[in-house]
Amino acid sequence: MKSQFTGFHPVRRDRLIQEARHDTYQIKHKLPESTVCPQCGAVFHEGRWQWLSRPAQAHEKTCPACHRIHDAFPAGYVTVGGPFFKDHREELLRLVKNEEAHAKAEHPLKRIMKIEEQADTTQITTTDIHLARGIGEALHHAYQGALEFHYNAQENLLRVVWER
């Protein structure tokens, strides 16, 4: 059926409309130029958070990474375990921290929140799903082992499991 009004299209009832993903930590509006995070010192400049020197007369707004850290609400979980990990724990955690430093240097919102020792594993929480994935891929690339990704699109959450 064609609409009698020009510029209008009939409503399609055979398709589901995808709801926009809701991310509490994503900034909904454009921040004023030269906004600084009071916790970490990252500067919002030219549409993204960057590591720059603090500009004079800067606005202040907590960045999404510091907001996640404050709320203790990670975007990524990396679980590392296995006998190889137990024997080479310090070396593997050094690789994890180097991966974070490399990512964080270019993208201030990619940070490790916490590294927790558990019974047989270590759990690393991150502020960004891409950092969690990068850590898992770095461990797998360097030491092989078994690597799994479990992505929950509704919560914008990634769980990575690496074992060897």
Question: Sheet containing 43-45: which strands, arranged edge to edge?
Answer: 48-50, 43-45, 35-36, 59-60
What span, in angstroms and rounded, lies between the C-alpha atoms of 51 and 43? Answer: 6
Q: Which residue has the higher pLDDT, 88 or 23?
A: 88
pLDDT band at 25 (very low <50, low <70, confident <90, very high): confident
Whether 41 shows a pLDDT value over 70: the answer reads: yes
pLDDT of residue 51: 96
pLDDT band at 5 (very low <50, low <70, confident <90, very high): very low
Per residue in 123-140, pLDDT (tens digit) is: 999 999 999 999 999 999
What are the phi and psi torsion angles at 12 (to 5°)? -90, 125
pLDDT band at 31 (very low <50, low <70, confident <90, very high): confident
> Which percentage of the chain shows pLDDT scores above 70?
86
The model carries a pTM of 0.83
Q: Which residue has the higher pLDDT, 14 or 79?
A: 79
Per residue in 113-127, pLDDT (tens digit) is: 999 998 889 999 999
Per residue in 52-66, pLDDT (tens digit) is: 999 988 999 999 999
What span, in angstroms and rounded, lies between the C-alpha atoms of 145 and 158? Answer: 19
Whether 3 shows a pLDDT value over 50: the answer reads: no
